[in-house]
Amino acid sequence: MSELTVDDVKKVASLARLKLSGDDIARYQKKLENVLSYVHLLDEVDTSDVEPMAHAIEAVNVFRQDEPRDSLDQAQALANAPQTDGKYFLVPAILDEA
Amino acid sequence: MSLSTHTTQDLLDQLQSGQLTSTELVTTCLDRIDAHDERIGAFLHFEREPALQQAAEIDRRRQAGGTLGALAGLPVAIKDNICANGTRTTCASRMLENFVPPYDAHIIERLRQADAVLLGRTNLDEFAMGSSCENSAFQQTRNPWDTERTPGGSSGGSAAAVAAGMTPLSIGSDTGGSIRQPAAFCGVVGMKPTYGRVSRYGLVAFASSLDQIGPFANDVTGVSRLLEVLAGHDERDSTSIDRRVPAYSQNLDQPLDGLRIGIAKEHFVEGLHPEVEQAVRSAVDVYRSLGAEIKEVTLPHSKYCVAVYYIVAPSEASSNLARYDGVHYGFRAEKFDNMIDMYSATRGEGFGDEVKRRIMLGTYALSAGYYDAYYLKALKVRRLIRQDFDRAFEEVDVIASPVTPTPAFKIGELIDDPLAMYLTDIYTISANLAGLPGVSLPCGFSSEGLPIGLQLQAAPFEEERLLRAARMYERETDWHTRRPAMNSNSAS
């Protein structure tokens, strides 16, 4: 299969929201390519009639009553946030100022 | 002998009879941590006073004749990726360096109900991704048998703490061998239960279809006593299975009549250290001498397990770790241009190398154009691996194998070669992919004096049989009673 290019690594880093330095990208490219070429070992397995298995112990849907119950209060929910105003999580502006 | 190297059952008996108080035991453990952990590095953080207060409270209730829980007064160390209300839970990551969970994991509730004393928080590879504790953002845990070597990982701190006699019991999590491999490297007993046997509620997620919490102790009885407390249904984890929990420790000493032990030829191939092979084959001979039937089984897809794992686990990780966005909890970068850049800078700075590599690998495997070739393909081979085990367990009760291809490797030996590091998990990964219970117990030492582990695996929910089979071997041998020489603290 195709090898992993520097552009691929940049694209994946962007999809994964990871800011990487140029050095990082070069290092990751080599190491990721090693792993990807190893996993191509699976190409030799015939899986044409095999269903994918997402979980080893395949449980059926688990439902519960849709009833209100105790949860975290606002102060607890905000306690670990990097920035809040005591009521909301604060984030950088997401819209340009008009 | 120091108190903290007694078995769990000894300590429980002494506590119950009044020969020993929890305060004495916890003090001994804390003193041992003080004396040796500068060198070993098993604990990321612990607080003396709260542990001693818990112990004193249990002693007081015992003296007053109150009813006490199953582990009353025993210290338990917790891997630092399991949430406990009000206790910092870092996952050995800068991302969660100051994270204080506002709730208890299911197993923490269980331990509190059992009157265990929560002793402290043990080191791991960041977010449980690694096999050596070299990926911890904070410190390197060293193997108590040889401090030049790794304790294994990711639950290396929990394994080293038991091996070094700093605690009789500890908790780890196992996604691809992260309990069993460090147990083997450190010469203690470690167990991964069946997927769904123990609730994952409050375990910081790495790969949700593979993660499972499990016990460490210095013998099989200790692991069984701890598993009795951890196991059981919890509706907050929808993959937790609602099934009766057997009293694992109750019939532990009764040998299994007609036990059938499977040996897979695929487990004895190139790359297996001859001394590990020798120790495992000798262990099988012990079972033979006890009347067990030894049968050859075949697991034809086992050579694919590492490849399947390194698609499935990073894929799930890339999704699970998307939550670290610098908004709701954890680290946020200081310098950024806009919202998207804030995410990227936060994650770029907050995660270590291996975590970033795995997120990238998973993101790639799940991305448009590659999903079928990687992720879907891996899930199909995963089913074939499970079917191999289903067939094998029609013939045998447990499968005996090595835990690791070699004894503990040196710190730095594999760090620059992720693939070589991944391949050290070759014997443990399949239990996670197939959801099976597996246990690692001491079965010998290398010529360099390093512990060697025996792995036993059983069919799903056969923990009782698995532990009884493990105990049969343990009763006949004294490997589990050996302890590393602990010299006092000195800079190494």
Tokens representing A69 are: 């119950």
One of B93, B155, B173, B178 is an active-site residue; which one?
Answer: B178
Please report residues of B whose CB lies closer than 8 A to that of A24. 356
Other residues' Cβ atoms within 10 Å of the Cβ of residue B236: 13
Give me the residue label for tokens 């089984």: B297
Asked if A72 lies within 8 A of B341 by C-beta distance, the reply is no
Please report residues of A whose CB lies closer than 8 A to that of B384. 45, 47, 50
Buried b (16+ CB within 10 A) or exposed e, B81-102: bbbbbebbbbbbbbbbeebbbe
Please report residues of A whose CB lies closer than 8 A to that of B329. 80-82
| Residue A2's pLDDT band (cuts 50, 70, 90) | low
Average pLDDT over residues B312-334: 97
Tokens representing B5 are: 């190297």
Tokens representing B388 are: 């191999």
- Would you say B425 and B453 are in contact if contact means Cβ atoms under 8 Å apart? no
Spatial distance between the Cα atoms of B45 and B51, rounded to a whole number of angstroms = 12
- Read off φ and ψ for residue B76, nearest 5 degrees: -135, 125
> Cα B245 to the chain's mean position, in Å?
20
> Cα B73 to the chain's mean position, in Å?
22
- Quick check: B460 contacting A, CB < 8 Å? yes
Strands B293-297 and B398-402: unpaired
Per the DSSP assignment, residues forming a β-bridge with B77 are B120, B170
- What structural domains does chain A harbor? 6-43 (1.10.20)
Structural fold of domain B3-257: Amidase signature (AS) enzymes (3.90.1300)
| Residue B492's pLDDT band (cuts 50, 70, 90) | very low
Res. B288: pLDDT tops 50: yes
Selection from B445, B459, B410, B454 nearest residue B147 by Cα = B410
Nearest to A50 among B100, B373, B380 (CB): B380
Spatial distance between the Cα atoms of B167 and B33, rounded to a whole number of angstroms = 9
Spatial distance between the Cα atoms of B310 and B178, rounded to a whole number of angstroms = 14
**Cβ within 8 Å of A, B 367-426:** 367, 373-374, 376-384, 386, 418-419, 422
Strands B438-445 and B293-297: unpaired
**Cβ within 8 Å of B, A 24-53:** 24, 28, 31-32, 34-36, 38-43, 45, 47, 50-53
- ipTM confidence: 0.94
- pLDDT (0 to 100) of residue B4: 67
Known catalytic residue at B154 = yes
- Would you say B375 and A48 are in contact if contact means Cβ atoms under 8 Å apart? no
Cα torsion at B125, B129, B132, B134 (round to 10°)? -50
- Would you say B374 and A41 are in contact if contact means Cβ atoms under 8 Å apart? no
- Quick check: B94 contacting A, CB < 8 Å? no
Tokens representing B125 are: 């590879």
Count of A-B CB contacts under 8 Å:
170
3-state per-residue secondary structure call for B460-475: CCCHHHHHHHHHHHHH
Please report residues of B whose CB lies closer than 8 A to that of A71. none
Res. B489: pLDDT tops 70: no
Closest-CA distance of chain A to residue B337, Å: 9
- Would you say B226 and B170 are in contact if contact means Cβ atoms under 8 Å apart? no
- What SS3 class is residue B354? helix
Give tens-digit pLDDT for B368-377.
889 999 999 9
Asked if A53 lies within 8 A of B235 by C-beta distance, the reply is no
Res. A14: pLDDT tops 50: yes
Average pLDDT over residues B405-413: 97
Res. B5: pLDDT tops 90: no
Give tens-digit pLDDT for B192-235.
999 999 999 999 999 999 999 999 999 999 999 999 999 999 99
pTM of the model: 0.97
Known catalytic residue at B79 = yes
Known catalytic residue at B335 = no
